[in-house]
Amino acid sequence: MSDNQSLDNQDVLAREDIRKDEFLVYEKPDTLTDTPFHYCPGCGHSTVHKILMEVIDEMGIQGDTIGVAPVGCSVFAYHYLNVDMQQAPHGRACAVATGIKRVRPDKMVFTYQGDGDLAAIGGNETIHAANRGENFTIVFINNGIYGMTGGQMAPTTLEGMLSTTSPYGRDIETMGHPMNMTQIVAGLPGAAYVTRQAVYKPSLTRKAKKALKKAIQVQQKGLGLSLVEIVSNCPSAWKMTPLESHDFIVDKMIPYFPLGDIKVPEEL
Amino acid sequence: MGEIKLMKGNEALAEAMIRAGCDAYFGYPITPQSEVLEYLAREATKRTGMVVLQAESEIGAINMIYGASGTGKRVMTTSSSPGISLMQEGLSYIAGAELPCLVSNINRGGPGLGTIQPSQADYFQAVKGGGHGDYHLIVLAPNSVQEMVDFVKLGFELSEKYRNPVMILADGAIGQMMEKVELFDYIKRTEEIPEWATVGKKKGQDRNYITSLFIEPETMERVNLRLQKKYREIEANEVRYQTENLDDAEYIFTGYGLGARICMKAMELGREKGYKIGFIRPISLYPFPYQVYADIAPKVKGILDVEMNAGQMVEDVRLAIEGNTRIEFYGRMGGMIADPEEILNYFEEKYINGGA
């Protein structure tokens, strides 16, 4: 169309003619607000927010859900997730969720935490919530780095991986091994369902979505703690393009943090 | 008249929690207050269904309090000095998020691991900050087992009225001593859920979220101004104190909590010797009763402030009197407790014999 032609051309559909239910192929669920995400291009948070909220929408539990946001890139999760939410001090989400679930046991309670939040400062709260078999669901985004604060080393940073506090690469001798926190949690009897997923390609995203649904069902059955780890990326702090970061997940992260169910309750 | 019982301070506190309809208690053992958790573990759940949970640490406990309070439930925790230090982060968040909760510090000697003996060295921590940021706890200082009980009921009311944490600042002696106490009847709890609580988004309404994060400075300043407005209201309406013999007083003895009880006895002994001594006991340490001291200062020859610390409340008394009278301080530390004769001797040394 040339610059001179007006849009009153009858071949062009009006906006209200396009936005009809019969033409609807996909829409954002009600369980996400209209606030644009601030996450970096290619970041896994966006995908996980979406599938988590799609599950809550499909299960019809928006009005019975209380989420706990961490400190980290997803500290603002409460601006995006259209459910009642509490923002917790760094690492304390599992204790905050314990408080919520113990006094409101009929609600679906979840935490959404990064690797520093869950495994470093929050290690004790995470382990003890699992040990007590608290009936809430942890969504654990593991990208092996502290994104929000500028790219420092995390408990799950891989050997040799560069970060602002391991500028010559993670050195096992002085900094220890990358920590498999999910394994530690799975070893506790109170942890009922523990699984590791990824969202860097659609087939895995669909699997991750199913895992989130399963986790919530475990909670609804009162079987104990459910934990869904998502091995994810941080293009910004890893200093990679989004596509390079997906390769890094495949080549480096997943060999150390293999995908799949780690613990599944018999009842499922 | 309510039920009368002979009770230990810590247990009376726990009993009061049950009767006040506390929905949940999350705590951690630490001497000299573990009896609170133990009593509740034995009694509470079977009587009222109260959730009682021993957390993995005081950090766990205060964060469980934060979570449960956010859902509109009436919640309390207790600890002692080192444990209260661990709770400071949580208390700052609770104040910043404007949530109600009740916490009690059964003050023991410090700093560090210190001793299990009573002390008043946490006044600064309780009243002047504790955690980071511009906030205040409402602080009530009981001086008897009866006040431990009364302040649980009052504390819950104040914390819910102002959506702010309230602290009962007691000490190891009050926690452990046994006294006669009148217990109030069970309070019928409301079924109403506060409109800000996170209990699940209602259809057609915005969901609730609880946060203390306001990253734009303009917003953070607005939030702080709102908090400050609340604190001015608290300062105007919730000052509590006790005075005795102010009418003809030439000297004032002052203290809080256990220190005040000893002061009062010292005043009686002093009166027997002919000294015209009056007495001021702040009951609310925040908001502090500055005006009471300001009013009396020009009329007296001096004040003797007695505390179980190196001199903490005395700074507020100094602020209050604006130099209009003399002030002396007597403090015992580390769990040592002064006796009334000791205080009177010090008074005589400073004010009567050559100390003018």
The reported pLDDT for the residue numbered A4 is 54
Answer whether B67 sits within 8 Å of A62, measured CB to CB.
Answer: no
The sign one gets for the Cα dihedral B67, B23, A84, A221 is positive
Cα angle: B133, vertex B138, B141; to 5 degrees: 130
The reported pLDDT for the residue numbered A176 is 97
- Cα B148 to Cα B158: distance, rounded to the nearest angstrom: 15
| pLDDT more than 70, % of chain B | 99
- Cα B218 to Cα B200: distance, rounded to the nearest angstrom: 30
The reported pLDDT for the residue numbered A8 is 60
Answer whether B68 sits within 8 Å of A82, measured CB to CB.
Answer: no
The nearest CA of chain A is from the CA of B312 a distance in Å of 30
Question: Using 50, 70 and 90 to split pLDDT, how confident is the model at A6?
Answer: low
Computed over every residue of chain B, the mean pLDDT equals: 97
Answer whether B198 sits within 8 Å of A89, measured CB to CB.
Answer: no
A residues 91-110 closer than 8 Å to B (CB)? 92, 95-100, 102-104, 107
Mean pLDDT of all residues in A30-49: 96
| pLDDT more than 90, % of chain B | 97
Phi first, then psi: give them for residue A125, nearest 5 degrees.
Answer: -65, -40
ω before B111 within 30° of 0 (cis)? yes
Contact indicator for A155, A179 with CB cutoff of 8 Å: yes
Interface size between A and B, measured as CB pairs under 8 A: 127
Contact indicator for B102, B61 with CB cutoff of 8 Å: no
Give chain B positions within 8 Å (CB) of A111: none
Of A86, A102, A104, the CB nearest to B53: A102
- Cα A232 to Cα B335: distance, rounded to the nearest angstrom: 53
Q: Which stretch of A6-10, B306-310, B342-346 has the lowest confidence by average pLDDT?
A: A6-10
Enter the ipTM: 0.95
Interface residues from chain B to A (CB-CB < 8 Å)? 23-24, 26, 51, 53, 55-57, 59-61, 63-71, 73, 75, 89-90, 93, 97, 198-203, 207-213
Q: Which of B57, B154, B161, B20 shows the shortest CA–CA distance to B99?
A: B161
Give chain A positions within 8 Å (CB) of B209: 78, 84-87
DSSP label of A200 = S
The reported pLDDT for the residue numbered A7 is 58
ω before B287 within 30° of 0 (cis)? yes
Does residue A66 sit at the B interface (CB-CB below 8 Å)? yes
Mean pLDDT of all residues in A165-194: 97
Of B64, B75, B209, the CB nearest to A78: B209
Phi first, then psi: give them for residue B26, nearest 5 degrees.
Answer: -120, 125
- What chain B residue is nearest to A108 in terms of C-alpha separation? B200
pLDDT at residue A1 is higher than 60: no
3-state secondary structure of B133: coil
The nearest CA of chain B is from the CA of A259 a distance in Å of 30
Of A65, A75, A100, the CB nearest to B70: A100
pLDDT digits (tens, 9 = 90+) for B92-114: 999 999 999 999 999 999 999 99
Q: Which of B90, B126, B41 shows the shortest CA–CA distance to A125?
A: B90
Contact indicator for B169, B107 with CB cutoff of 8 Å: yes
Strand-strand pairing, B101-107 and B165-171: parallel
Contact indicator for B88, B103 with CB cutoff of 8 Å: no
- Cα B61 to Cα B87: distance, rounded to the nearest angstrom: 8
pLDDT digits (tens, 9 = 90+) for B251-271: 999 999 999 999 999 999 999
